[in-house]
Structures are given as C-alpha cells and as structure tokens.
Amino acid sequence: MSKKKRLILGISGSLRAQSFNTHLLKYTLGRIAHNNNVIVKIANLYLPLFNEDIENSVGVPSKVLKLAELVRSADAIVISTPEYNKNLSGVLKNALDWVSRVKPQPWSGKPIIIMSAASGQSGGERAQNSLRLCLAPFDPILYFAPEVAVPDASNAFDAQNIPKSKIIREKIERQISNLDAYLE
C-alpha cells in the first residue's frame, strides 16, 4: 500500500527574481522531493501591506486566505529568510501578520525548518532569530539544528543555484533527515 503524499510548503522571504533565499529554498525543496513521497509548493507573498482597516472593511484578503490554507494543509514548512538590517524581511513579517488574523491559527503545531542566505559573514543568523521570535506566538514546531545560514550569498551558489559549500549541503540533508524522522 502506498503512503499518502505529503505537502511541503516553501516560503521565501524575498520577492527578488534572483533571490539567493529562493535559490536556497528551491534547492532544499528539490532535495526533499527527491528523497521523499512529497508534493512541494512555494507560497506567494505578494500580499497587501497589513492594515486592520482593510480587514475591518472587506475582511481578510483572498490572497491571505489562500496562503493561510496552504500553511494549514502543509505537513511541514521550509522558510528561507534574507537578513535586512539585522532582521527578517518586511515581506515575510507582513505575511506572518496577515496569516495571524486567520482562525484557527494555521501555524499551530506545524513543523518548520528555518534557513537563510545573506551577504554578511553570519549568513542571516539574526534574521533567523527574529523569525523565531515572530513565529513563537503561533506555537509551531521549530527546528534549530543544524542551523543553515549561508554567508556571502552572492558567491555561495554555482551556475545551477546549488550551494557550493559541502558543509551547507550536509546541514540541509541533516535538517531533511530530522524532518523525515518527525513526519514518520
């Protein structure tokens, strides 16, 4: 008897067409899909800026409801965040704020892998920490180790957008293995 395919949702905190975080996310989702019986989807974060006046006048926007349903239906989530001014991106924070308005809370109990790619030497560690703080009220299951933080992002990927660092690739594989063990 075949197992039900699992849905893994990817979220990139960057809207840039050639985003290093989207490259990192797509690589990771590809590895997950390669190793498992899964369907992967990437969320669309092109959302209006959070504003309670919008919610009070017309309700939660349909794009937000669609994102919230993807979060709810996902078996696990991978988030890759850039580091902007030592913090997560505004795009990602905006999505978290909007989805927080949907009840019941779609993030609750959801296993989440956090990773980052940034131009600095820390590879976005501060962005990961700020993202963890923003996710904490939603009560997800956060994976902390091994931390996947890609420094010097503009030089960290090859022509196929695969991380050059064997250490980074091994950390990604360990995160995937940890997630597999949890989902079994």
Residue 178 is assigned to a structural domain of this protein? yes
Residue 150 to residue 153: CA distance in whole angstroms: 6
36: Cβ–Cβ under 8 A, 6 or more apart, which residues?
A: 6, 180
**What integer pLDDT is reported at residue 35 of this predicted model?**
65
**What integer pLDDT is reported at residue 37 of this predicted model?**
84
Q: Which of 151, 44, 140, 155 is nearest to 100 (CA)?
A: 140
* Number of structural domains in the chain: 1
Residue 168 to residue 149: CA distance in whole angstroms: 8
Residue 12 is assigned to a structural domain of this protein? yes
pLDDT of the chain, 184 residues: tens digit per residue = 346 789 999 999 999 999 999 999 999 999 999 866 899 999 999 999 999 999 999 999 999 999 999 999 999 999 999 999 999 999 999 999 999 999 999 999 999 999 999 999 999 999 999 999 999 999 999 987 899 999 999 999 999 999 999 999 999 999 999 998 998 8
Residue 49 to residue 47: CA distance in whole angstroms: 6
Residue 96 is assigned to a structural domain of this protein? yes
Residue 35 is assigned to a structural domain of this protein? yes
Residue 163 is assigned to a structural domain of this protein? yes
Domain extent for 119: 6-183
| Domain harbouring 118, CATH code | 3.40.50.360
**What integer pLDDT is reported at residue 1 of this predicted model?**
37
Residue 28 to residue 160: CA distance in whole angstroms: 13
Residue 1 is assigned to a structural domain of this protein? no
Give the burial class of 7: count Cβ atoms within 10 A of its Cβ; 0-12 exposed, 13-18 middle, 19 or more buried. middle
Q: Are 116 and 21 in contact (CB under 8 A)?
A: yes
**What integer pLDDT is reported at residue 36 of this predicted model?**
67
Residue 72 is assigned to a structural domain of this protein? yes
Model pTM? 0.95
Residue 149 is assigned to a structural domain of this protein? yes
Q: Hey, is 111 helix, strand or coil?
A: strand
